Amino acid sequence: MTIILGLESSCDETAAAIVTHDRQILAHSLAGQEDHHRAFGGVVPEIAARAHVELMTPLIESALDKAKMQLSDIDAFAATAGPGLIGGVMVGLVSAKALAMAMDKPLIAVNHLEGHALSPRLCDENLDYPYLLLLVSGGHCQLLRVNGVGDYNRLATTIDDAAGEAFDKSAKILGLGFPGGPLLEKAAAMGDAHAVPLPRPLKGAKEPHFSFAGLKSAVVRAHESGQYAVNDIAASFQTAVTDCLEDRLEYSLSHMDTLSKLPLTKLVVAGGVAANGAVRAMLERVAAKWNMQTVIPPLWLCTDNAAMIAWAGQERFAAGLIDGLDVAARPRWPL
């Protein structure tokens, strides 16, 4: 049995989790920082880094308590080493380095995006490589062919904002508060999705990429016009994002022979926006149409957490991918 402690601190969630090589999540502890950032309407990097410093050690202790383990039971220490807000990334990475050094155990530096990309394999033991992955988070919107640990082909990416970023910015414009994505989804549930005419950026384009910046600007204009209720703008926005994701996904699926050599039978989704009900329903619809099986992790595993980092650590450890104590934190780190 290999037991890995994983740490996550790349944005505004501090988390520690203990995961075994055979997919048992022995503990996952997480502390959000919403209260620290709410007054500013977004994540403030300096405040986030300080909060990670305060929260990380108690969370590691809480994970060990929950798993009824001691540090000496851990076989390797994994942490997000980027991409993300660098001050926060350093807190988790340096903590893992200190533990690895003190316990004389291996260190595994995990790319946060790889954590999201491999997380569906933590909840589904039948999910084999390769698979098609839609990664939709606050910082990224990508369609990837996942061939194996450390082996990815990026088929499409956003040319401007990420999908989650569009949710967060639109929620802020509409005065819905922070964190934006879930609050906008709540408002949308009480609105009319046909009430506000909003654009579908890149819809019908002869390329696979995504774009959301124009949609956000249209939300500003609709709100400033004073003609529409906030819930109606929220509902129309959520439908527009979902339509865009569907159109771009449809383009890629109908050009799969040129984008990806082997047929892919599983449509896998990860990242915070996969927590959105309308997005999840659309994915089920698209997968059914293309005779694909969907793998959508539970909500808590879609948003940032440390279990996905511990699991990516397990996959890297099994592949012999260990890092030195001099490994650097990276604010930017494409997959």
Structure token pair of residue 125:
């033991």
Integer CA distances (angstroms), 2 to 96, 178, 311, 332, in order: 17, 38, 11, 30
Give whichever of 12 and 64 is closer to ligand KG4, judged by the CB atom. 12
Helix (H, G, I), strand (E, B) or coil at 88: helix
Which partner in Zn ion, ligand KG4, none is near 179 (CB below 5 to 8 A by kind)? ligand KG4
11 binds ligand KG4 per the rule CB under 6 A: yes
What residues from 261 to 280 belong to the interface with ligand KG4 (CB under 6 A)? 271-273, 275-276
**β-bridge partners, 29:** 16
Which range touches Zn ion (CB under 5 A), out of 164-172, 256-264, 275-283, 300-308? 300-308
Residue 177 near which of ligand KG4, Zn ion, none (CB within 5-8 Å, type-dependent): none
By beta-carbon proximity to ligand KG4, the closer residue of 3 and 167 is 167
Q: Which of 92, 106, 139, 297 contacts ligand KG4 by CB under 6 A?
A: 139
Q: Tell me the window of 16-24, 120-128, 160-168, 309-317 that interacts with ligand KG4 (CB under 6 A).
A: 160-168
b/e for 130-150, b at 16 or more Cβ within 10 A?
A: bbbbbbbbbbbbbbbbbeebe
Interface residue with ligand KG4 among 82, 92, 120, 138 (CB under 6 A) is: 138
Rounded distance, CA 329 to CA 111, Å?
Answer: 10
| Residue 70 φ/ψ, nearest 5 degrees | -120, 165
Q: Based on the shown chain and the rule CB under 6 A, indicate whether residue 33 belongs to the binding site for ligand KG4.
A: no
Instruction: Report the C-alpha gap between 10 and 146 in whole angstroms.
Output: 22
Q: State phi, psi for 92 to the nearest 5 degrees.
A: -70, -40
The token pair at 70 is 């001691």
How many degrees, rounded to 5, is the angle at CA 310 between CA 128 and CA 88?
A: 130
Figure out which of the listed residues 8, 161, 168, 323 binds ligand KG4, where binding follows CB under 6 A: 168
Among 32, 41, 45, 182, binds ligand KG4 (CB under 6 A): 182
Nearer to ligand KG4 among residue 3 and residue 37 (C-beta): 37
Least separation in angstroms between residue 298's CB and Zn ion is: 15
Residues of the binding site: 112, 116, 135-139, 168, 181, 185, 276, 304
**Intra-chain end-to-end CA distance of the chain, in Å:** 29
Phi/psi of residue 262, nearest 5 degrees: -95, 145
CB nearer to Zn ion: pick between 137 and 170: 137
Site string for ligand KG4, 300-319 (x = CB under 6 A): ---xx---------------
Q: Give Cβ neighbours of residue 234 (< 8 Å, ≥ 6 apart).
A: 170, 171, 174, 176, 184, 187, 188, 191
Binding site, annotated residues for substrate: 135-139, 168, 181, 185, 276
C-alpha angle 50-55-61 in degrees, rounded to nearest 5: 150
User: Which residues contribute to the site for ligand KG4 (CB under 6 A)?
Assistant: 11, 137-139, 164, 167-168, 179-182, 185, 271-273, 275-276, 303-304
